[in-house]
Amino acid sequence: MPKPPPPPSDPPISRVFSALGDPTRLHLVHRLVERSPLSVSELGQGLPVTRQGVTKHLEVLEEVGLVSARKQGRERLYTLEETPLRQAREFLAAISAGWDRALTRLREHVEED
């Protein structure tokens, strides 16, 4: 059975998954999927997190390349970056394909008996 490709290392895919593992950050990413770019205020609407808290979560997402920011006047506007999400999807797809092959082998083995 071929091994799944090694995880991308820039940034390490584990850091991307870690960043997405926080419910608040996952919510921010979801908002950016729906509409982008958004300001910190727009991203924080309805969240039980202060503006400063939202900013800290966005900094984590920015460190792993999931979002980028540009200054517009006094605001920073955040945009979702596709590459880390695509890499994560490809990595999970490779793992899923490996599981599919393993389950096929198991089924064939059981059906032989």
Query: Tens digit of pLDDT for each residue in 85-104?
Result: 999 999 889 888 878 677 77
**Which residues of the chain are modeled with pLDDT < 70?**
1-11, 100, 113
* pTM as predicted: 0.76
Number of domains observed in the structure of the chain: 1
Element (H, E) at 33: helix 23-34
Name the token pair of 64.
């792993």
Q: What is the CATH number of the domain that holds 92?
A: 1.10.10.10
In-domain check, residue 100: yes
Question: How do beta strands 38-39 and 67-72 pair?
Answer: unpaired
**Domain ranges, residue 99:** 13-112
In-domain check, residue 6: no
In-domain check, residue 55: yes
In-domain check, residue 4: no
Please tell me what DSSP assigns to residue 8. P
